[in-house]
Structure 1
Amino acid sequence: MTSRMGGALLLRHLGGRLFSTTTTTSVPRSTAIGEATNYLMYGGSAPAKGMAVWVRISSVRMASTTASPAVGREDEATVAKGAAAKEGAGTPPSAKKEIASYWGIQPSKLVKEDGTEWKWSCFRPWETYKSNISIDLKKHHVPTTFLDKVAYWTVKALRIPTDIFFQRRYGCRAMMLETVAAVPGMVGGMLLHLRSLRRFEHTGGWVRVLLEEAENERMHLMTFMEVAKPRWYERALVIAVQGVFFNAYFVGYLLSPKFAHRVVGYLEEEAIHSYTEFLKDLEAGKIENVPAPAIAVDYWRLPADATLKDVVTVVRADEAHHRDVNHFASDIHYQGMELKQTPAPLDYH
């Protein structure tokens, strides 16, 4: 077999691969193979014809087989974009928003008792309550032990710069007070939670109680944010005070939970006093008794015509409950940081 005949046979076997169906030439594949074979075996009748055949072969080999799928993907993407644009053209803007949920699923639509839509994401309808305002507001824990006296005078010392800075601007005072009051419950709940994990022990329900206290105090803050718009330097003061108080309370709770809860108990007593003065100024007309913020009306189930005076009244009652809980926590026996008795009921209702 001559080399010329071997080349012809090889070309016959490889012709199907060399001449892909994706070529844009109008010459049929069988014709092109025949012309190439004729030229290789017999030399062809004209060099130009052979050149034309080899141009066809080169064009096919240069057209990579990966180029076609890429073009196909571009076309598919273009078609998909066009379809999405057509589909979204008639969709209202509100329906195009992505679902925002902690669990990644669409939350169920909530309504109030009157059938109107529930618009708060920070709390749910079943978390609202009517505050028990009949609680004793004058109750005071007389300091007897050394730690009690240290806690009492520490709180009294903290009141001095607060009175100087805020004077009788009780709206701003309440805002600052709540940014601090929401810290102890979170710190105590966090430390008890971590201890429970380390020791594989129950905490008697105290973790939930302390976290609920922190959440309730935070709702106080969200309410007074609607009443008193803080200035830039008041916001800066909140950052500074929270940074110092959080770390100080964290260390204090590690050293003595009994002392830490006593401090909070006395802080709540001071809060009751501040809100009582707030109410006096509202009743005297020194502070405008504006309508209650919508968030307060829904959270405390206040009447639709509730005023700021009603809000301050229920907030003061909440502080009285926190006072009793923290004094009770300090009174009962501790083993390390674990509270041995079940917590006092949080009678908000």
Structure 2
Amino acid sequence: MSDFELKHKTAAKLSEHVAYKITQCLKFLLNIFYGRKYAKRAVILETIAAVPGMVAGMFNHLKALRRMKDDEGWIRELLDEAENERMHLMIFLDIAKPSWVERTLVLLGQGAFIVVYSMIYVLSSKIAHRVVGYFEEEACKSYTEYLGKIDCGEVENVAAPKIAVDYYQLAPNAKLRDVIVKIREDEAKHRDRNHSFADAYERQELPAHQH
């Protein structure tokens, strides 16, 4: 049984309102391109989601070197998040099989988001992590809708791709639904951790600030 639950952190502070608005803009752009085409929508979703962990990991790595202080595991956790999201992308590339035009759009979107997210992280790491927290909230909603479409028969519950079976150590006869459930659980973890990272910045409980 999964202990998954949909959550939303209500924006109260200015930084949270800014982060939420950025997320809603990303969602709007995503809906323009793919709307309810869940597999192809997931390709774009995971392309963007694979960026923050790597960008944040790099900046925290450089900060730790600069300040000569222990990062207390933040860098490894952020890089693990990036790796996990990259695997989600690999899985959905196998499921959606995007055309070369769509792959080009993915690359352009990824390039643009790397620049934008890096700028946000430099200006405010707190807002950057809050953006990811809200973004993962939307991912959880999207995958919940995806599961609903599978359950009502609107999306075929095809066999799980081998890459997903191997990555999640699923049964050989696993289906698409089993994979989506696992991915949604990952997104829920990233949602909670990034909101907690943003909270830590709020409270100044950061490795770089500790003595």
**Shorter chain as normaliser: what TM range?**
over 0.9
Q: What is the CA distance between 1:334 and its match in structure 2? A: 3.3
Contact 2:133 2:194 in 1 (8 A): yes
**Secondary structure at 1:338's aligned position in 2?**
helix
CA distance in 1, matches of 2:42, 2:114: 18
Contact 1:155 1:266 in 2 (8 A): yes
CA distance in 2, matches of 1:141, 1:194: 30
Matched, 1:338 2:188: no
Which residue is equivalent to 1:329? 197
Q: What is the CA distance between 1:303 and its match in structure 2? A: 1.2
Q: What is the CA distance between 1:278 and its match in structure 2? A: 0.7
Which residue is equivalent to 1:287? 155
Summarize the alignment of residues 232-243 of structure 1 with structure 2, pairs less than 5 Å apart: 232-243=100-111
Instruction: Give the structure with higher Rg (CA).
Output: 1
Contact 1:329 1:339 in 2 (8 A): no
The count of corresponding residues between Structure 1 and Structure 2 is: 208
Superposed CA offset, 1:221-273 (max 9, x none): 11111111011221111121111110111111111110000000000000011
Superposed CA offset, 1:186-244 (max 9, x none): 00000110111122111111000000000000010111111110112211111211111
Which residue is equivalent to 1:274? 142
CA distance in 1, matches of 2:32, 2:87: 26
Contact 1:192 1:337 in 2 (8 A): no
Letter of the 1:338 partner, please give it. Answer: A
C-alpha RMSD of matched pairs (Å): 1.6
Contact 1:140 1:269 in 2 (8 A): yes
Which aligned segments of 4 or more residues in structure 1 are displaced greater than 3 angstroms? Answer: 334-340
Note closer, same or farther for the CA distance 1:337–1:143 as it changes in structure 2 (3 Å cut): farther
Matched, 1:298 2:166: yes
Which residue is equivalent to 1:146? 14
Which residue is equivalent to 2:85? 217
Contact 2:130 2:194 in 1 (8 A): yes
Q: Which has the higher helix share?
A: 2
**Identity rate, percent:** 50
CA distance in 2, matches of 1:285, 1:339: 52
Note closer, same or farther for the CA distance 1:173–1:201 as it changes in structure 2 (3 Å cut): same
TM-score, with length taken from structure 2: 0.94
TM-score, with length taken from structure 1: 0.57
Superposed CA offset, 1:15-34 (max 9, x none): xxxxxxxxxxxxxxxxxxxx
Which residue is equivalent to 2:55? 187
CA distance in 1, matches of 2:44, 2:209: 30
